[in-house]
């Protein structure tokens, strides 16, 4: 058994207040209690938090938190990593408690992307109430959403092997994107699913990212909440980095918004769900049915 879902993200920022405004007033997340100085926790469902944002000297993703379904799966996953020569550091009980989990360990992938691996959940049984009226987010056992991480060309294959062979992610889709000045065959972007029906919980792009993350996807229940987020972003002068559109591989109807840390949030709805026992990986020759006109300059 491998990873069940993306549980949370840990972000470092120079401007905690900018993230507080962005998270609550634009994305519609709720601020959660935190007894750690210089930290901000944001929730979007019945978990105590899904975003852990820490004050620091950089703007970057520190780690993605990946959930195993059981203690046995967690121990098997850590054993597989260690057997492959990966340095895995067990966190203290206090550190695990700060993440609202039973046990926690840390490692990095071949390109240096940080992982926090855990099993078990703490629940506070507090109802999520969005400060701007978002109906809710699509999470549950499918997790927070998905992340798209950098895997520059020299490490691309090694990164894929790390996540698929050691952590059990399955290939969902392969794409190539052509950019001015890029290689004629395009830059590879490959998408992998965890043990849940979401099309992908992680993807890798064949170029570096200064922030350690290209984008994080949040899924709401309907297009009205996407549209209302677009309105809030405009009111708060948040840059739209890709217009409304629908992806080919997962059917997501979404918009992309800049964050205070330089990466993007994909805010979408209507993502397709899959039965992996009946699925054959695809190679999508076009990224979108329509829309998603990019404005990243």
Q: 242 with 159, same domain? A: yes
Q: State the average pLDDT over residues 146-169.
A: 96
- Does some domain include residue 30? yes
- Does some domain include residue 111? yes
Distance (Å, whole) CA 46 – CA 49: 8
Domain residues for the domain of 108 are 3-119
Query: For position 147, which CATH number holds?
Result: 3.10.180.10
22: three-class secondary structure by DSSP: helix
Q: 152 with 287, same domain? A: yes
Q: 33 with 79, same domain? A: yes
Q: 49 with 18, same domain? A: yes
Q: 103 with 181, same domain? A: no
Q: Is the pLDDT of residue 181 over 80?
A: no
Distance (Å, whole) CA 137 – CA 46: 10
Distance (Å, whole) CA 215 – CA 9: 12
Q: Tell me what the pLDDT averaged over the chain comes to.
A: 96
Q: 176 with 287, same domain? A: yes
Domain stop point among 51, 85, 119 = 119
Q: State the average pLDDT over residues 234-241.
A: 98
* Residue environment code for 156-166, b if the CB has 16+ CB neighbours within 10 A, otherwise e: beebbebbeeb
- Does some domain include residue 230? yes
Amino acid 48: pLDDT? 96
Nearest to 143 by CA among 183, 195, 185: 195
Q: Is the pLDDT of residue 1 over 90?
A: no
Q: 214 with 109, same domain? A: no
How many domains, the chain? Answer: 2
Q: 208 with 74, same domain? A: no
Q: 213 with 99, same domain? A: no
Nearest to 197 by CA among 297, 115, 279: 279
- 296 pLDDT tier (thresholds 50, 70, 90): confident
Amino acid 182: pLDDT? 62
SS (H, E, C) 194-236: CCCCECCCEEEECCCCCCCCCEEEEEECCHHHHHHHHHHHHHC
Q: 207 with 284, same domain? A: yes
- Does some domain include residue 296? no
Give the E-state strand segments of the chain in sequence order.
3-13, 30-32, 39-43, 51-55, 60-68, 89-90, 103-108, 114-119, 146-150, 170-177, 187-193, 202-205, 215-219, 240-247, 253-258, 264-269, 282-283, 288-291
Token pair 């992998």 is found at 192
Amino acid 5: pLDDT? 98
Distance (Å, whole) CA 115 – CA 127: 28
Q: State the average pLDDT over residues 32-37.
A: 91
Write the pLDDT tens digit of every residue in 4-29. 999 999 999 999 999 999 999 999 99
Q: 147 with 285, same domain? A: yes
Amino acid 2: pLDDT? 87
Amino acid 35: pLDDT? 86
- Does some domain include residue 200? yes
Q: Is the pLDDT of residue 180 over 60?
A: no
Q: 223 with 270, same domain? A: yes
Contact 211, 61 (CB under 8 A): yes
Distance of CA 42 to the CA centre of its chain: 14
The neighbour count for residue 79, using CB atoms within 10 Å, is 11
Q: Is the pLDDT of residue 46 over 60?
A: yes
Domain stop point among 51, 86, 119 = 119
Domain stop point among 90, 119, 148 = 119
- For 277: left if phi > 0, alpha if psi spans -120 to 50, otherwise beta; the answer is alpha
């Amino acid at each position: 058994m491998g990873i069940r879902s993306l549980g949370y993200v840990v972000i470092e920022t120079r401007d905690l207040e900018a993230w507080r405004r962005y998270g609550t007033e634009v994305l519609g997340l709720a601020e959660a209690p935190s007894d750690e100085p210089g930290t901000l926790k944001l929730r979007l469902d019945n978990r105590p938090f899904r975003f852990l944002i820490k004050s620091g000297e950089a703007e970057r993703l520190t780690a993605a938190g990946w959930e195993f379904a059981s203690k046995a799966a967690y121990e098997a996953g850590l054993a597989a990593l260690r057997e492959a020569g990966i340095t895995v550091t067990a966190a203290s009980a206090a550190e695990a408690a700060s993440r609202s989990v039973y046990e926690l360990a840390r490692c990095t992938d071949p390109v240096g992307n940080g992982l926090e691996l855990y099993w078990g959940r703490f629940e506070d049984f507090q109802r999520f109430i969005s400060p701007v009226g978002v109906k809710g987010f699509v999470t549950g056992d499918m997790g927070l959403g998905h992340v798209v991480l950098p895997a520059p060309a020299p490490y691309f294959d090694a990164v894929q092997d790390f996540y698929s062979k050691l952590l059990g992610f399955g290939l969902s889709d392969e794409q190539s994107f052509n950019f001015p000045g890029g290689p004629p065959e395009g830059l590879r972007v490959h998408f992998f699913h965890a043990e849940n029906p979401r099309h992908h919980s992680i993807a890798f792009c064949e170029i570096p990212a200064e922030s350690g993350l290209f984008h994080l996807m949040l899924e709401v229940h309907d297009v009205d909440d996407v549209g209302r987020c677009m309105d809030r972003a405009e009111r708060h002068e948040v840059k739209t980095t890709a217009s409304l559109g629908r992806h080919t591989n997962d059917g997501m109807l979404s918009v992309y918004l800049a964050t205070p840390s330089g990466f993007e949030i994909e805010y979408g709805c209507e993502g397709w769900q899959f039965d992996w026992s009946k699925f054959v990986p695809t190679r999508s020759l076009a990224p979108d049915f329509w829309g998603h006109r990019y404005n990243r300059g």
